[in-house]
Amino acid sequence: MLSSLMAAVGSESTTVPDEMRLTADGKELVYQLLWRSVLILILIFAIFPVWMMFTTSFKTRDEVLQLGLDIIPADPYVQNYFLMFQRFPLVDYYVNSLVISSVTTVLSLLIGGLAAYSLSRYEFPGKEKFEMGALATQMIPGVLILIPMFLLFIVMDQSANIPMKDTYHGMIFLYTTFTVPFTIWMLRGYFDTIPTALEEAARIDGCTRTQALFRVVMPLAAPGLAATGMFVFLLAFNEVLFASVLATDNVTPFSIGIQNFQQQDQTMWGQMMAASTLAAVPLLAIFVVFQRQIVSGLTSGSVKQ
């Protein structure tokens, strides 16, 4: 009696009417809705700090210190954008960062690009060790080599009479040593996706190996170069640790100069956020202009030939 009753209940609970079953299109629709919801949450999480930086630049110090999450300021205070130029030479800081980051990017693409091309096309003794060595440099925390780099700068100044500390060439040399290994690993995979048959065809038509490199390979590698250059520029532009020790007077970068808004007795949050917003606008504009090349460079580098 009991077993028959349980069998009857079980048969009813496992039987689902056909009209209540999800079709393949319905399952796909549910999957797309869930996936897009997750993407929207990730997008909100990524944009929220940037939005708060922008809105805080229009608040007074008292409004910033008020408790509560005021996403949109009720009475925008635009004076922060004028006062920040009166307090500190932000234009000089910005020019210093642009010069150092731009030259670092060019040198990194030139040195790292040629090294990546060589690793992609040639076989030579110690190739794998060189690749692993370049990768290992990215795993060392910067704070561990801060003092050795400081001593190296002092030795080059006193022994070789080459002033490195607080100079353009010193900071460019420092940042290039960090960004070249990163450039090699970014471009190595991209060069692997360019068929060697194109270079061979160019050489059959009369080009030398160097001409084939710069007339055929480099134009095809333009998206990868654009993506790598963008990341190298951001790495150099946003660097703080080494600049706080080795560039504090003559070539103070923007990342250090903006810290002047944090005084001993107060922090001028509104002006600091206004300066941060102003610094982010040109970088954002560059990314928008070259977004197609950057996305293409990031995705193509992951595909093997």
| pLDDT tens, position by position, 259-294 | 888 887 888 888 889 988 888 887 788 778 777 767
**Residue 7 has what pLDDT?**
53
CB within 8 Å of 147: residues ≥ 6 apart:
none
* CA distance from start to end of the chain: 69
Q: What is the mean pLDDT of residues 135-159?
A: 88
Please report, for residues 81, 250, 254, 297, 302, the alpha-carbon distance to residue 243 in angstroms, rounded to integers and kept in the order given.
25, 12, 10, 30, 33
The sign of the CA dihedral 14, 20, 26, 29 is negative
Tokens encoding 207:
């080009």
Measured N-to-C along each axis, helices 269-289 and 222-238 cross at an angle, to the nearest 10 degrees, of 170
pLDDT, tens only, 181-239? 999 988 888 888 888 888 888 888 888 888 888 888 888 888 888 888 888 998 999 88
The CA distance from 196 to 128, in Å, is 21
Of the listed ranges 12-16, 152-156, 166-170, the least confidently predicted one is 12-16
Cβ atoms within 10 Å, residue 199: 19
Largest distance between two CA atoms of the chain? 102
Instruction: Give the C-alpha separation, 147 to 172, whole Å.
Output: 18
pLDDT tens track for 102-122: 999 999 999 999 999 999 888
The pLDDT mean for the chain works out to 83
Instruction: Return the DSSP state at 145.
Output: G
Q: Looking at the predicted structure, is the pLDDT value of residue 145 above 80?
A: yes
Q: CB–CB of 149/175 below 8 Å?
A: no
pLDDT at 13 over 70: no
Query: What span, in angstroms and rounded, lies between the C-alpha atoms of 54 and 69?
Result: 14
Q: Report helix angle 168-192 to 90-121, nearest 10.
A: 40
Using the predicted structure, report yes or no on whether residue 72 has a pLDDT greater than 60.
yes
User: DSSP letter string over 202-269?
Assistant: HHHTT--HHHHIIIIIHHHTHHHHHHHHHHHHHHHHH--TTHHHH-SSTT--HHHHGGGGB-SS-B-H
